[in-house]
Structure 1
């Protein structure tokens, strides 16, 4: 092998090792048997979530994973391998690939790295069941709104009770008291 070819492969190893280090999530799959249309659809779904899918030679993957500190991944680099790298959302590759694998028997998830931790197939499936980042923010927002909404209902109920008992003057005093807080 020429020195130029060796230099090109060494550079590729460096690039992939950096991707492993800088990614929030890296999921390794075997996409053997997918049609061109299925592969295109998978890549499209991944791109929409900011995930890049690359088919990489196992020798390069092995060296890059070792260089990045993930030597334990070497066992899953058998047969054709593609890696989905996500630098933003650690859950997106797992979620998309799991859903796609459920619909297409030719896609096999092998394992990967999620938030710096080696993840086997079971771990990837667990991550895939989590809601998206936006879904988690929505749940968090709902949790923050609950006490405020409950307080508003109590104040409204108190206001209605006072209106029934004492008329409009008492209700106005409650409104003024709550708006001053």
Structure 2
């Protein structure tokens, strides 16, 4: 049994996570094995997200004043929480894969994305977006393209100039 001080520390940490997380998803993990739970934790950790299971009574002390308060009615039964702080798309993708596994017992309860309540369809749409790395690659290409276009145009211009000068030289030599 945890001491009052330990419980207060858990509530404080949860409140901080509820305030900082860009994505908070509540799940029902009823019937999951320890191996499945560990697999879920690993897949989320790989993308910078976190999965926690805490008693609902402690969560009820942590959510007041945070965006998670909007989904307080979902804190019933066995509840696991997914926290994503940076790359919410990657976390949504990892969770979606887990939801869609053949024998997955993990169930969606509720979610808050960037301070707004979201349903399972919104999480699936979020998971279908390009990830952070892909978006950064697209941005790099977009920033690089104009520079490449100017370089190509200048190179093409110089080639045309050389061709014109060679034609002028050939005309003067033949005259």
Match of 1:14 among 5, 12, 15: 12
Equivalence for 1:138: 137
Match of 1:45 among 43, 46, 67: 43
Instruction: Determine if contact 1:31/1:81 at 8 Å carries over to the other structure.
Output: yes
> With structure 1 as the length reference, what TM-score do the two structures score?
0.77
> With structure 2 as the length reference, what TM-score do the two structures score?
0.79
Deviation per CA, 1:26-47, whole angstroms, max 9, x where unpaired? Answer: 2212223333333222211111
Deviation per CA, 1:5-50, whole angstroms, max 9, x where unpaired? Answer: 5554344323211210122322212223333333222211111122
Instruction: Determine if contact 1:20/1:26 at 8 Å carries over to the other structure.
Output: yes
- Calculate the aligned-residue CA RMSD, in Å: 2.7
Unaligned runs of at least 5 residues, structure 2? 168-175
Length, aligned pairs only? 168
Deviation per CA, 1:127-174, whole angstroms, max 9, x where unpaired? Answer: 212222222111111111121222222222222223333239xxxxxx
Partners of 1:157 and 1:128 in 2: CA distance: 43
